[in-house]
Amino acid sequence: MKYESTRGSRLKKTGAQAIIQGIAEDKGLYVPETIPALPFNIEEMKGKSYKEIAFKVIGAFFDDFTSEEMGYCIDGAYDSKFTASDVVEIKEAGGAHFLELYHGKTAAFKDMALSILPYLMTTSMKKEGVTDKVCILTATSGDTGKAALEGFADVSGTEIVVFYPTGGVSQVQERQMITQQGANTHVFAIRGNFDDAQSGVKKIFNDDDFASELAAHGVKLSSANSINVGRLVPQVAYYVYSYIKLMERGVLKAGEPMNVVVPTGNFGNILAAFYAREMGVPINKFICASNDNKVLTDFINTGVYDIREGVRKFYCTNSPSMDILISSNLERLLYLLSGRDGQTVRGLMEQLDKEKVYEAPASVRDGLGDFYGGFSLEKETLDTIGKMWSENGYLMDTHTAVAYKVYQDYVKETGDTETPTVIASTASAYKFAESVASACGIGPCKDGFEYVTALASATGVEVPYGLKDLDKKPVLHKGVVDADKMADAVREALK
């Protein structure tokens, strides 16, 4: 399996090379030259564990890894740091099946991929004979940063630098990051929003002079964001797993379709579901859930991606991990739906960069028919949390509530009550305790940490081990920088 750029470069990479490089030399994103078929008969996988399914699914994409190498990566990633009996859990509530992806160390779905990425990265470096130190450069809207820090902390041959928007993450999310231990970990708040952070990281990746400067010191850049295919591919596994488990439970029979609902900002998590369908998982509809920053909803419904000032306002919401206007992974979908037309994708991305708007060609708009786009405003999100708890005794975070509200809208609009539906539950309610507690009529409390205690006391839902006593941990990272000074922050971190 080789990997090619979404922007037309003829240089192809092995899986290991694509993981190390992170972003293509023409600034495109790596995609597999073909989406592999499922390497098994679905019915034969009944009763198999998450690790067994992930081994085969991820291995199908990265077939340059030996069985021993992939086994090492899987075993290292999905171990006792996940508290669920089989890494993830699927719970039924309110007419949907919630795929709980947050039972890892940082209590968010990013653990699912960022627990394995360090193993994939270091194994790739060994395979390719890379002796340079790799600097993992990441922008985060809340969860990616902590999961990446946790995964790469004190990993030999790596440094990790994380940028997050000051005031743009929850109090719990921020404290998780700024208390991170590890001699190779570096965290900076930036004055701006997530799009500023993400654009700043991309600018650094696109700066050839900066790359040469780092190379002179034996350092090369890579990414832990989902622009890195080593971060994206592991997410495919849990959608395959979901289908198999619904079969086991008799919810559907082999070959019958399911729907998938994903709260998304950067489009990586829902793209992973699309890859799962391309592999052979019968998925009927991809339900893309946005918050007030509904650029993806509008794109799916119109084929126009528009972030121009005066047309699109940026909102800071109670589901901050989705406060994004530039959805990086959408580029990978554009590439597939356009028939792998790298020149067209390059043109669209250049147009977005310069004019802040583009209209997708007919081939892409036709492919968007498999997607349903909807959004939930902040008050609707809170109402959804409160109602789900009072009526079903199921506690969900703000992002999962966005997804469930959009799913309810989908059912009302389409009448599709028969297709079993999996909702990606992306974070513990305790990561956004203030909003969740308020939605359930709890509070007021003095800060986010007191809300965690109050929410646990009122609901009896256990606080994830990674979130306990956060307020008592010492703050180790205090840097705050302007968005245009991010490269200087990287230089400082690497001294």
Residues 10-40: pLDDT tens digits? Answer: 999 999 999 999 999 999 999 999 999 999 9
In this prediction, residue 344 carries a pLDDT of 97
In this prediction, residue 225 carries a pLDDT of 87
Mean pLDDT of 37-53: 97
In this prediction, residue 446 carries a pLDDT of 95
CA 303 to chain centre: 23
Domain count, the chain: 1
The residue whose two tokens read 């979404």 is 6
In this prediction, residue 273 carries a pLDDT of 98
Mean pLDDT of 89-105: 98
In this prediction, residue 180 carries a pLDDT of 97
- Dig out the tokens for 202 from the structure: 């991309």
Span 285-341, pLDDT tens digits: 999 999 999 999 999 999 999 999 999 999 999 999 999 999 999 999 999 999 999
In-domain check, residue 45: no
Distance between CA 382 and CA 442 in Å, rounded?
A: 12
Q: Where are the alpha helices (DSSP H) in 249-377?
A: 268-279, 295-302, 330-337, 342-355, 362-367
pLDDT above 90 as % of the chain: 98
In this prediction, residue 251 carries a pLDDT of 98
Distance between CA 143 and CA 479 in Å, rounded?
A: 19
Judging by beta carbons within 10 Å of its beta carbon (0-12, 13-18, 19+), is residue 331 exposed, middle or buried?
A: buried
- Dig out the tokens for 175 from the structure: 């404290």
Distance between CA 128 and CA 134 in Å, rounded?
A: 13
In this prediction, residue 142 carries a pLDDT of 83
CA distances from 54 to 245, 269, 453 (A): 13, 16, 35
Q: Which of 227, 287, 230, 229 minimizes the C-alpha distance to 257?
A: 287
In-domain check, residue 402: yes
In this prediction, residue 154 has a pLDDT band, given cuts at 50, 70 and 90, of very high
In-domain check, residue 362: yes
Residue 277, pLDDT > 90, answer yes
Q: Which of 77, 144, 58 minimizes the C-alpha distance to 328?
A: 144
In-domain check, residue 8: no
User: What is the domain extent for residue 289?
Assistant: 89-108+230-431
In-domain check, residue 361: yes
Span 402-437, pLDDT tens digits: 999 999 999 999 999 999 999 999 999 999 999 999
CATH number of the domain within which 354 lies: 3.40.50.1100
Q: pTM for the full model? A: 0.95
In-domain check, residue 180: no
CA distances from 70 to 56, 74, 95, 260, 264 (A): 9, 6, 37, 27, 28
Residue 106, pLDDT > 90, answer yes
Backbone angles phi, psi at 181, to 5 degrees: -90, 165
pLDDT above 70 as % of the chain: 100
In-domain check, residue 55: no
Distance between CA 242 and CA 42 in Å, rounded?
A: 11
In-domain check, residue 124: no
- Dig out the tokens for 281 from the structure: 């998982």
- Beta carbons of 145 and 82 less than 8 angstroms apart: no
Mean pLDDT of 64-71: 98
Mean pLDDT of the chain: 97
